[in-house]
Amino acid sequence: MNIGLDIMGGDNAPDATIKGAIIALNFLNDTDSITLFGDENLIAEKLKENNIDPKRFNTVHAPDLIGMSEQPIKAFTQKPQSSISLGFHYLKKGKIDAFASAGNSGAMVVGSMYSVELIQGIIRPCTTVVLPKENGGSTFLLDIGTNPDPKPEVMYQFGMLGSYYARYVYNVDNPRVGLLNIGREEEKGNILTQATYKLMKGSSHFNFVGNVEGRDLLFDTADVVVCDGFTGNVVLKQLESMYHLLKNRNLYDEFVERMNYENFGGTPILGIKSTVVVGHGISNDNAIKNMILLTKNVHEANLSLQIQGELQKHS
């Protein structure tokens, strides 16, 4: 497969993105390739610094850059020669099989919706994070910032998308889906969670196990936990902070290391017709490498086709 990588995206680009791509080559098959999107002179310079033959990569010259703080729709439409815009153009034309970036996440979502398009029936795409469970398993939390103020029917679809992601990419059998709330009881929560609970209760799309609380996230209470993007982003940033505090105080073991965002690389944008992965803006070379490998895994799992099949099955 041919993976497209935005080398201009992220706070540590292009050094981290180039180095991450170089490391990733050691984990890919001979039939896999990476296409780098960015300033071709800069790419050539960085590959030379790392003593890498430029022929090991495909290169697409993208002279423009979408900054991390730019307004997504405006930047995506007004900068057609940016690394993100050209990456999506190549993805839409089938010149690459998947696209990954640690750049402007809003622009990546906009590109996904307008270039790749949503799977029929999906209202809004979403993003997720993999959290470690104490027993060695994983919890998939979604949404983590793409939809800060969703409606109940959108939250319901998060449960579907998270369940399919856990099943088809991470091989979790019949994932248990919980709704993040301030109590276990059905009547607890705000208007959004109460309405979402009513939709999820008795769902035929996924295995709903009821409300879960914040203290349940790192335990084996559920496999997929659904929340609005505002709450999910706050939880994610809090756990990232806790990881660094524990590490800095040498309160560090295998479980704590599993909280390190670098290990997961990023998140696919769930609910679209292709494979697009967004990395953390502060990604270093190891995180970029893992973002590329996650992109390969999601694509090879045929996740978008699996989701389309599931929706048709239940229509």
pLDDT in tens, 49-64: 999 988 899 999 999 8
Q: Which helix (H) or strand (E) holds 130?
A: strand 128-132
DSSP per-residue letters across 199-264:
HHTT-SSSEEEEEE-GGGTTTTT-SEEE--HHHHHHHHHHHHHHHHHHHHTT---HHHHTT-GGGT
Phi, psi of 176 (to 5 degrees): -85, 125
CA distance 244 to 251: 10
pLDDT tens by residue, 117-149: 999 999 999 999 999 999 999 999 999 999 999
Peptide bond into 150 cis (omega under 30): no
Closest to 46 in 3D by CA, of 80, 21, 81: 21
DSSP state of 185: S
Task: Identify the CATH number of the domain defined by range 128-257.
Answer: 3.40.718.10
CA 102-272-164 angle, to 5 degrees, is 100
pLDDT tens by residue, 81-93: 999 999 999 999 9
Q: Is the pLDDT reported for residue 315 higher than 70?
A: no
Q: Is 195 exposed, middle or buried (0-12, 13-18, 19+ CB in 10 A)?
A: middle
Q: What is the pLDDT of residue 264?
A: 84
Banded pLDDT at 71 (limits 50, 70, 90):
confident
Radius of gyration over alpha carbons of the chain, in Å?
19
Q: Is 172 exposed, middle or buried (0-12, 13-18, 19+ CB in 10 A)?
A: middle
Q: Torsion over CA of 148, 105, 225 and 275, rounded to 10 degrees? A: 130
Q: What is the pLDDT of residue 199?
A: 96
Enumerate the domain spans of the chain. Answer: 2-122+271-313, 128-257
Closest to 168 in 3D by CA, of 309, 313, 4: 309
CA distance 100 to 13: 13
CB of 228 closer than 8 Å to CB of 126? no
Q: Is the pLDDT reported for residue 176 higher than 90?
A: yes
Q: For residue 199, how far is the Cα from the chain centroid?
A: 25
DSSP state of 54: G
pLDDT tens by residue, 256-313: 888 888 888 899 999 999 999 999 888 899 999 999 999 999 999 999 999 999 888 8
CATH 3.40.1190.20 fits 2-122+271-313, yes or no: no
Query: Amino acid identity, residue 51?
Result: N
Asked if the domains 2-122+271-313 and 128-257 are classified in one and the same CATH topology, the answer is yes
What mean pLDDT value characterizes the chain?
93
